Amino acid sequence: MSRVTIAPEEDRLTAQIAFAVEIDKLKRIIRRNHLMDGSRRENDAEHSWYVGMLAMVLGEHAPPGTDIQRVVSMLLVHDLVEIDAGDTFVYDTAAVAAQPDTERAAADRIFALLPGEQGAGMRALWDEFEARETREARFARALDRFAPILANHHTEGGTWSLFKVTAAQVKEKVRLIEDGSPSLGAYALELVELSIARGHLSE
């Protein structure tokens, strides 16, 4: 009985397609935030696309010398782990405490689906995002936190009202935005204060 020999490039393509099929699952992970028209909650794939676009549009607010293409790449992969780990609500302290272990295990599985160097490259982007030690990672994390504040402001409090989030809790998240981009941090703080004034965020 003859054996079918699979060429290395076919093995590689098979692995890449398996990864492509797997990450389609990101579209079904539903986040807490609503779309800005308030019609429904957004999914993780929409969020990843949106913050990647924000990096391109708001790149001038990044620290000098920031590699915006790397930021975009980081933002495209940053939530893939939620295929396994699910979306962690940033104001749920118990879930946030458990998040690193569950997401690390997810990263181990998901990025390993790719051919060696490709998987290692994407995993390195994810690790860099989580560590927040480079200017690119800090700017990426800033945008990841900025997007929900923008959405909640435009949905009259959105998840802030729904989950009884306080202004102090939101301002704590603004610090991370300020760390990656002082100008975006200042703008986010203005949105928070305006939301308080309009009665959409409780002090």
Q: Is 92 helix (H, G, I), strand (E, B) or coil?
A: coil
- Please choose, from the candidates 148, 181, 171, the residue with its C-alpha nearest in 3D space to the C-alpha of residue 32: 148
Q: Which residues contact 115 (CB under 8 A, 6 or more apart)?
A: 11, 12, 15, 16
Number of alpha carbons in the 13 Å side-chain half-sphere of residue 129: 28
Whole-angstrom Cα distance, residue 25 to residue 19? 10
pLDDT at 10: 79
- Please choose, from the candidates 50, 52, 71, the residue with its C-alpha nearest in 3D space to the C-alpha of residue 138: 71
Counting every residue, how long is the chain? 203
pLDDT at 7: 54
Task: Decide if 40 is inside a domain.
Answer: yes
pLDDT at 9: 76
CA angle centred on 91, ends 88 and 95, rounded to 5° = 45
Task: Decide if 203 is inside a domain.
Answer: no
Task: Decide if 1 is inside a domain.
Answer: no
Task: Decide if 168 is inside a domain.
Answer: yes
Could you list the residue range(s) of the whole structural domain that residue 161 is in?
9-197
pLDDT at 194: 98
Torsion of CA 172, 178, 184, 186, to 10 degrees: 70
> Average pLDDT of each block of 10 consecutive residues along the chain (203 residues)?
56 97 98 95 98 98 98 98 96 93 97 98 98 98 98 96 96 97 98 97 92
pLDDT at 203: 86
pTM: 0.93
Task: Decide if 129 is inside a domain.
Answer: yes
Task: Decide if 160 is inside a domain.
Answer: yes
Task: Decide if 2 is inside a domain.
Answer: no
Structure token digits, residue 184? 């975006």
pLDDT at 3: 53
Task: Decide if 19 is inside a domain.
Answer: yes
Count up the domains in the chain and report the number.
1
Give the CATH number of the domain where residue 95 resides: 1.10.3210.10
Calculate the CA 157 to chain-centre distance: 20
